[in-house]
Amino acid sequence: MAVFGQVRRDLKDRKNLDIYTSVGVALVASALSVFDILPPDKTTSAVMAILAVVAFNQLVTRSIAERAAESHGDVFRAQFSPDLVPKRASAESLYLAGVTMGRTIRESYGALEISLRRGAHVRILLTDPDADDAALDARCQISRPTPDEIKVEFDMRFAS
């Protein structure tokens, strides 16, 4: 039932209309073809239209991902910058957010320990990767928040 609720919310918010239209056309064309109501040449046209929409979506998604990678520069790199761990070790407060944070904790364990022993505040927010709201929020975020915006968000979440 959660799927239908999500579809209803998407349609209400006018999100993913191209995908729902493709699914609808595919289901109708399939049902009509099964009962020999829609001739094969019309079915082929419907399938080609659906493939065109899917291909267009892939192009749009690819260009969005490329622009995000270009605009965020080194954010998507495999290694942390060499000065990041010392910065974490000397910080008075650290705000970390992510899904698993495994690599971050592993790479900065010593720095986090030093900060905590000094009395620094370390706040870690782990998001549930299966949470629909978190996934939608992450996908709908157009720009990268500033460090101050992230700090305010952390403080609001940990205050309650």
Q: How many CB atoms lie within 10 A of CB 140?
A: 9
Cα 149 to chain centroid distance, Å, stands at 18
Going by pLDDT thresholds of 50, 70 and 90, the confidence category of residue 83 is: confident
pLDDT in tens, 84-137: 888 888 888 888 887 777 888 888 888 888 889 999 988 888 876 666 555 545
Going by pLDDT thresholds of 50, 70 and 90, the confidence category of residue 138 is: low
* Proportion of the chain above pLDDT 70, given as a percent: 80
Report the 3 state secondary structure along 42-82: HHHHHHHHHHHHHHHHHHHHHHHHHHHHHHCHHHHCCCCCC
pLDDT in tens, 36-64: 888 888 888 888 888 888 888 888 888 88
Going by pLDDT thresholds of 50, 70 and 90, the confidence category of residue 145 is: low
Residue 2 CA to residue 136 CA, distance in Å, equals 14
pTM score over 0.75 = no
> Cβ neighbours of residue 74 under 8 Å, at least 6 residues apart?
81
